[in-house]
Structure 1
Amino acid sequence: MHFQVFGQSSDDEIKNEVRVVARVQKGKVLLRWAVSTSSAWLKANKHGYKIDRYTVSRDGQLLSPPVKTTLTSVPLLPYPVAQWEEAVNTNDYAAILAQALYGEGFQVEQMEGGLAQIINKSREIEQRFSFGLYAADMNFEAAKMGGLGFEDTNIVSGEEYLYSVETLVPVDLLKIEPGSVSVKVKDPEPLPVPLDLYAVPNDKNILLTWEYEMFKGIFTSYYLERSENGNDFQRLGDTPLVNLNDRPGSPAKRMFYVDTLSQNNKTYYYRVKGISPFGEISPPSEVVSGQGIKKLSAVPHISRHTFDASGGVNIQWDFPKETENEITGFELDWAAQEKGPYKTVKTGISKSSRNTTYSEPEPSNYFRVTALGKNNQKTTSLTAFVQTIDSIPPAAPVGVVGIVDSLGVVKLNWTANTEKDFLGYRVFRGNLEKEELSQITISPVGENTFQDTIQVKSLNSKVFYQVVAVDKRFNMSDYSEKLALKKPDVVPPSSPVFKEYKVQRKGVFIEWINSTSDDVVSHKLYRQNVKMSEQGWQSIFVTDTVTSYTDSSVEAATKYRYAIFAEDDSGLQSAPSTPITITSQKSTDAELIKGFSLVADRVNKNISISWRKMPKEVIEIIIYKSKKEGKPVLFKQMPNTINRIVDSSISPGNTYVYSLKAITKNGNHSKVETKEVIF
């Protein structure tokens, strides 16, 4: 198991837990553990760890219940600072772990300000945690001193144990899940040998790479060794190599190391050894060798191309004559698109050649020439584009048909083109019949079918499509016939709008503006008696294009509410217009006014207006006044108890007109009586 935590995620993203590994050695079991977060590590360093061992089987027989043995009589804590002095002087990893545990400062990138200090402190804790676990990974003695390792020497061969390691941090302070590992006591197994070591030569350096993922639970780091004679190996550096490319969610598969050389053409030998979490060093890997090689610097350059009589393309290039001794020959690569993929179409071209012929060109061709170095090196020219002559477009697609389902999914198909150089189709779409359609395909589609998705809930009732065929020279055919597809009608028509109304003797006149939707087949006018709204709405008029109606079936002095709807050819009904409320005209049939007379008194300069006393059903009398040819205005409103008044607001030489109207208890009004007098 691997404990080093460089580049790990933040504590908030990792579960607080103990992770344990074990290794059987002669006469003892070695335990190594670590907590998963820096916050858990800080608290565990203060409160310590407890180790329990459960004997689960003996000589192949399961024990029920298992025999529990507590291996730590007191909490297992890091050594006090005073006990580290001797180890620090002789063990670099003990020095690192001691500094992580007790050092006054741990260098991190400094920032300024209050928030920066908090960030710096957090970074310092993370680095202490990371380097502390790294040091414990590298040296088991340091791990034991740091409270992260333990040796169980009281073991019996043939028994199987389950070790449980838990922190003694109070749960209310931080909940940390314990860790466990099972071990069968038997002869120690040797560490495996690192595998798949390769040496890749380059100019004054060699890239070394070997398998990492398979042994990441066994080896925490590696020593890489080099020899000049294949026998006497020395380590490349005193510090073990750690894979810093291993990330949660993106595990590394191999280790890589570049060994810089002082010269080329000298053979070096390499081997690698793995280091376990208990400080054990594995047997060496197989030995590989390599030597630095001079980099191939010359690059071919395609200078021109010509067509021969049979239609083949002759490619010519330049390459320095003095560099021919560094290569074995050339290759020709071809692709239909500049971005590739490229395939090698000509091999075995001699190093003295500077041209070759490709006999089966396509309408569009991209060529590269590659020089092959003697040491498996390659240099490749820039791409050259060669286009064969072709100006004849394919035939326009025919037989374009399609359907639209209720979800707006459009399925189109048409008769396939048969041209030899045919590439694909471009599909165009629009919402108006007379507009220019827009392309909706990014690159030509190879099949003679296409699926599209449209908005069903829109104001356009139809959608239009055209298809164009494209050949490999990107010559475009004429457009196909325009296909019009009716959308499923799920959008109700727009609402009519009331324009005007008039209350007349013969009824209520209403005028409206019809719905603007083009698929409307009828407009329906509804009426509701406001006082009897529980009876609901009543349809009183249905029309297609008429925009007015006189409702002559109303009762006198009654309040009505009107609304109008539009309905389309799919039976969808619009939202109602904004309703209007109208009160019908009151009755004018009653002849209640009797004895209405006007008397001019020129001596006293007034006009006396009188009438006979009216029935008890009359509650109000209204008088209008005007001069001859003038507009009547309200003059007086009086109760039924009065039947005579005097008008003194007059002047000689005028003709005055008076109109009298009576209002009854039920809201009806009488016929208007009008008289005039010359003063």
Structure 2
Amino acid sequence: MKKLKIILAFSLIMVQIGQSQDLPSLGITARYDSTQNIMMLRWAPESAKLWFAANKYGYSVVKYYYQKDGELLTPPLKKEILANKVRPKPLDEWEELVNRSDYAAIAAQSVYGESIGVTNAQEDIFSIVNKSKEDQSRFSFSLFAADQSLEVADFLGLYVEDHKVSKNERYLYRIYVNVPDSIMQADTAAIYYGPEDYSSLPAPKVESVVQKDDFVVLKWLNGPYLNIFSSYSIQRSFTGKDFDNINSLPTINFESGPTKSNLFNSFIDTTRYEGKAFYRILGKNVFGQLSIPSDTFSIVKMKSYEVPIPKIDSVEFNENNSNAIYWSANGASEFIDKAFLEKSYKSEGRYELVELDSLFKNSYLSDTSPNEINYYRVGITAGENVKYSMPFLFQNIDSIPPAIPAFFNYEVEDSVVKLSWYANTDEDIAGYRIYKSIKRNAEPSLIYSEQSLDTTVILKENLSFINNERYYYLVAFDKNGNASALSKRFKVKLPDIVPPTPPQIRNVTQQGDTLTIDFVKSSSSDIESYLLYRKLEDDLYKLVKQINPSQNQLTDIVEKGGKNFYRLVAIDSSGNEGVSKPYSFYVKIKSEEEFKYEIFEGEDYVSVLWEKNSNYEAQKVKVYYKINDTYNLIKEASIREGELLIERKNIKKEQLKIICI
């Protein structure tokens, strides 16, 4: 018996009415035979468990008269029992069929062959699994055999003929499994069919017939016929008339549903011959009926030959900026149709066509637009055969630097700086370098160099410098070491935590009631203002004035005689403070015995009257008004006048201060 490698592909059309997906079910198909005027019915269970039960209890086939002359018949429909308790024939009836059919031997072994068997002592998990696999194999092989032979399907109890058929009628056939509900519940299968539903089997569609080495490969469309044909017959003729089957075993459908992998089927004819041959394909359904032949394809089979493998001998760089690739092939070259050149950036990468020599007239090929790094391979074709050389690496000399890169953003958190830049678009870019300077026009130093295509970097900066600005420059370099020029200067402002250098009070002079304070400015470059604080003895420091950083002198008005203390504070752009050391100064006030005054509040004016000792040398009297703890000069007069009037407005007597100088 021939050995068969089988994967089940049961090709019945399954029509199920009112079935539950939870119950075992059947598949059914029908076909009308006009030569005998009979209806042929084929079915199959969809699980091994149901198959075993049906083999024991059998199937029942019921026929209902459903339609006549195109009109639906009125219920109740006429009913006939076509078959009852249809099941596999007894073993002793199989001998004659087994002796002439391999498929019958497969089916008989599946139904009646010895079983593994599981005893109580062997009920371990492995024995149970093996028994389950055996049951599934028996089920699959039996259905396969039934698909390939209608006679075997009849012996397996999976086929019935209806000889009482009228061409103007249509019938409803229902198949039942006679297993009791107490043992297993199973759905029925049904199909509507009549002689008018008959259609001839389509011809298979051949895709190609080509020679591969010393063989002929046939390829035909398979997907659309999965539910039509269970196998195919391949036929060949050397005259174009008398065709013979060349596949001793049927070419079958291996899968049950349309997928990308079974869209086409193929067959390899390994017969050794030379010259012209004709091929065609016929489909066969589960009822053993053959389709009309496919279109006939012819092929002239050439004597087999070994296609030589090419190899690249050398590559040369020409003055016109092109590469010449010299190659050769050992062996017979008379069958070579054409040669072509491909290249890639990697030896195992995706290769692209560079040049095609369709006449095979030269032993070299050219690349007029070489890259810096080139992996070349030469391919040659002979018929349907293609052979490639091993990849050949050739690097062109590159002295062109990459384009100048540019920063576009930075982020600062405490002392951590994240720099970001635009990716360089050069194809051979290898990495980036970063240079830094602390001062704007200082020479930058290299702080980062990596062979990486990352476009961000994180750096840690020292914040203890007085200057909180950093200047970064970016450089791109390629795989040959060529480096771009420095990018434009990129300024980064760091958090300013260093206080400015404190100013220094150099001198305080008094002229009358005015004190002039001279000081040395802070050396820090980002000073925004100076604050002057004054403290009298046994008192707290009080802000008396704020000036901009362009001034280096300020004044204060005497409030009280005695020892005064001054401190000057420098404020930078980040709000940090640099505080000077205290500076003490003794303030002199003229004796009240030498100068006396009184203030009178009238309705519209405030009147200031005074008198002085004849030896008093003062020249003027100045009137100050206190606003927000600061005295501001509002009026002055010659000391000889003895009186001064001030518009009342909102002036209060308590806020006035009179000083003579």
- Sort the TM-score into its range (normalised by shorter chain): 0.5 to 0.7
Is it true that 1:366 corresponds to 2:375 in the alignment? yes
Superposed CA offset, 1:247-294 (max 9, x none): 89775122222221335x333322221110111122222222332542
1:230 corresponds in structure 2 to 240
Aligned counterpart in structure 2 of residue 241 of structure 1, from 228, 235, 251? 251
Aligned counterpart in structure 1 of residue 293 of structure 2, from 259, 263, 284? 284
Q: Are the structure 2 counterparts of residues 337 and 136 from structure 1 closer, same or farther at C-alpha, using a change threshold of 3 Å?
A: same
8 Å contact 2:7–2:254 — kept in the other structure? no
3-state DSSP class of the match of 2:333?
Answer: helix
Q: Are the structure 2 counterparts of residues 468 and 223 from structure 1 closer, same or farther at C-alpha, using a change threshold of 3 Å?
A: farther
For residues 467 and 239 of structure 1, the distance between their equivalents in structure 2, rounded to whole angstroms, comes to: 73
Q: Are the structure 2 counterparts of residues 134 and 414 from structure 1 closer, same or farther at C-alpha, using a change threshold of 3 Å?
A: same
3-state DSSP class of the match of 2:131?
Answer: helix
2:627 corresponds in structure 1 to none
Query: Which amino acid is the alignment partner of residue 380 of structure 1?
Result: Y
Aligned counterpart in structure 2 of residue 24 of structure 1, from 10, 28, 32? 32
For residues 491 and 29 of structure 2, the distance between their equivalents in structure 1, rounded to whole angstroms, comes to: 72
2:578 corresponds in structure 1 to none
Q: Which structure: larger Rg?
A: 2
Aligned counterpart in structure 1 of residue 275 of structure 2, from 266, 269, 273? 266
Over the matched positions of the two proteins, sequence identity in percent amounts to: 30
1:177 corresponds in structure 2 to 187
State the 1:485 CA deviation: 13
Query: Which amino acid is the alignment partner of residue 378 of structure 2?
Result: V
8 Å contact 1:425–1:467 — kept in the other structure? no
For residues 197 and 395 of structure 1, the distance between their equivalents in structure 2, rounded to whole angstroms, comes to: 56
8 Å contact 2:226–2:258 — kept in the other structure? no
Is it true that 1:328 corresponds to 2:337 in the alignment? yes
For residues 220 and 303 of structure 2, the distance between their equivalents in structure 1, rounded to whole angstroms, comes to: 21
3-state DSSP class of the match of 2:252?
Answer: coil
Aligned counterpart in structure 1 of residue 111 of structure 2, from 101, 108, 113? 101
1:192 corresponds in structure 2 to 202
Superposed CA offset, 1:51-93 (max 9, x none): 2334443322234547252434532222223333443344443
For residues 449 and 179 of structure 2, the distance between their equivalents in structure 1, rounded to whole angstroms, comes to: 68
8 Å contact 2:89–2:155 — kept in the other structure? yes
Q: Are the structure 2 counterparts of residues 184 and 72 from structure 1 closer, same or farther at C-alpha, using a change threshold of 3 Å?
A: closer
3-state DSSP class of the match of 1:104?
Answer: coil
Q: Are the structure 2 counterparts of residues 262 and 57 from structure 1 closer, same or farther at C-alpha, using a change threshold of 3 Å?
A: same
3-state DSSP class of the match of 1:209?
Answer: strand
1:544 corresponds in structure 2 to none
2:229 corresponds in structure 1 to 219
For residues 185 and 306 of structure 1, the distance between their equivalents in structure 2, rounded to whole angstroms, comes to: 77
Q: Are the structure 2 counterparts of residues 88 and 468 from structure 1 closer, same or farther at C-alpha, using a change threshold of 3 Å?
A: farther
1:124 corresponds in structure 2 to 134
Superposed CA offset, 1:166-222 (max 9, x none): 322234433333222222422742211111152221222112221111111011011
Report how many aligned residue pairs link the two structures.
Answer: 439
For residues 127 and 371 of structure 1, the distance between their equivalents in structure 2, rounded to whole angstroms, comes to: 48
Is it true that 1:305 corresponds to 2:307 in the alignment? no
8 Å contact 1:219–1:277 — kept in the other structure? yes
2:390 corresponds in structure 1 to 382
For residues 161 and 363 of structure 1, the distance between their equivalents in structure 2, rounded to whole angstroms, comes to: 77
For residues 248 and 485 of structure 1, the distance between their equivalents in structure 2, rounded to whole angstroms, comes to: 66
For residues 136 and 20 of structure 1, the distance between their equivalents in structure 2, rounded to whole angstroms, comes to: 13
Alignment of 1:437-586 (within 5 A): none
2:623 corresponds in structure 1 to none
State the 1:144 CA deviation: 1.9
8 Å contact 2:107–2:145 — kept in the other structure? yes
For residues 366 and 128 of structure 2, the distance between their equivalents in structure 1, rounded to whole angstroms, comes to: 69
3-state DSSP class of the match of 1:41?
Answer: helix
8 Å contact 2:24–2:50 — kept in the other structure? yes
1:168 corresponds in structure 2 to 178
Structure 2: gaps spanning 5 or more residues: 1-5, 11-20, 435-446, 458-472, 496-661
Query: Which amino acid is the alignment partner of residue 174 of structure 1?
Result: M
TM-score after normalising by structure 2? 0.57
For residues 172 and 71 of structure 1, the distance between their equivalents in structure 2, rounded to whole angstroms, comes to: 24
Query: Which amino acid is the alignment partner of residue 285 of structure 1?
Result: S
Q: Are the structure 2 counterparts of residues 77 and 129 from structure 1 closer, same or farther at C-alpha, using a change threshold of 3 Å?
A: same
Structure 1: gaps spanning 5 or more residues: 405-410, 429-435, 451-465, 487-679
For residues 173 and 448 of structure 2, the distance between their equivalents in structure 1, rounded to whole angstroms, comes to: 74
For residues 485 and 270 of structure 1, the distance between their equivalents in structure 2, rounded to whole angstroms, comes to: 83
Q: Are the structure 2 counterparts of residues 422 and 368 from structure 1 closer, same or farther at C-alpha, using a change threshold of 3 Å?
A: closer
Q: Are the structure 2 counterparts of residues 315 and 422 from structure 1 closer, same or farther at C-alpha, using a change threshold of 3 Å?
A: closer
8 Å contact 1:314–1:356 — kept in the other structure? yes
3-state DSSP class of the match of 1:96?
Answer: helix
Is it true that 1:6 corresponds to 2:8 in the alignment? yes
8 Å contact 1:397–1:467 — kept in the other structure? yes
1:353 corresponds in structure 2 to 362
8 Å contact 2:220–2:265 — kept in the other structure? yes
8 Å contact 1:53–1:70 — kept in the other structure? yes
1:599 corresponds in structure 2 to none
For residues 224 and 129 of structure 1, the distance between their equivalents in structure 2, rounded to whole angstroms, comes to: 28
3-state DSSP class of the match of 1:157?
Answer: coil
For residues 420 and 427 of structure 1, the distance between their equivalents in structure 2, rounded to whole angstroms, comes to: 16
3-state DSSP class of the match of 1:327?
Answer: coil
State the 1:471 CA deviation: 5.8
Q: Are the structure 2 counterparts of residues 325 and 73 from structure 1 closer, same or farther at C-alpha, using a change threshold of 3 Å?
A: closer
Q: Are the structure 2 counterparts of residues 351 and 59 from structure 1 closer, same or farther at C-alpha, using a change threshold of 3 Å?
A: same
State the 1:366 CA deviation: 2.3
State the 1:474 CA deviation: 9.4
Alignment of 1:552-631 (within 5 A): none
State the 1:350 CA deviation: 4.2
Q: Are the structure 2 counterparts of residues 444 and 151 from structure 1 closer, same or farther at C-alpha, using a change threshold of 3 Å?
A: farther
3-state DSSP class of the match of 1:311?
Answer: coil
3-state DSSP class of the match of 1:351?
Answer: coil
3-state DSSP class of the match of 1:270?
Answer: strand
State the 1:245 CA deviation: 6.1
